[in-house]
Structure 1
Amino acid sequence: MNVDNLADSAVFAGYLFYAVFDVFSVMYFANEIKLKSEELFYNLYQSSWIEQTLKCKKILIIFGERLKQPHVLVVLKMYPLTLETFNKILNSAYNMFKILQNLKW
């Protein structure tokens, strides 16, 4: 193997690692936002909201209704940023790589 090819391969491997890590970190933290927002409704329910005044109870009930739907970061109003999406991206990239490898002469 040529030294230039080895150096090029190392650069490409480093870039690939950086790109995958970059996408993974964004998807991971977006997934964490979704999971934490799902816990908010349960935490509100576990609080001492029964002992509050009537006005405060009404506000908490409205707030609780808002918390029933988890917050999810979405790209182009179409793709949710979750670890499942990251997994789909990696699978699609690997499938494309295998197709291109099979087309190689």
Structure 2
Amino acid sequence: MSSGEPNKTSGQLHSVKGNVVETIGNVTGATSWQQSGKEEHAQGEAEYKAAQAKGYAEGTIDRLGGKKDAVLGAVTGDRQQEAEGNLRHDKGEVQQEFNKNT
């Protein structure tokens, strides 16, 4: 997390690297590698989940804001605002789906 923001790719990388280090520790009997690998794996999983939660929350904000803009545009007859609101809503929906906890 070099930027201070959680990142899914970085989280996955650390998770996998931690598993590899732990496996090497298990094979060689090096307890320090086992522990280091477990810790890096856990940190990677936590970073991934934090990035996922952040992305889902951002999607929720876009979805709700887009819906508000679309309705307001429809009510006032502003077709551009309505269309932009619908696009923002759809973008938020996709972002939520992409970041859904499974």
Give the TM-score normalised by the residue count of structure 2: 0.49
Q: Which has the higher contact order (CA 8 A, sep 6+)?
A: 1
Larger Rg: 1
Query: Which has the larger helix fraction?
Result: 2
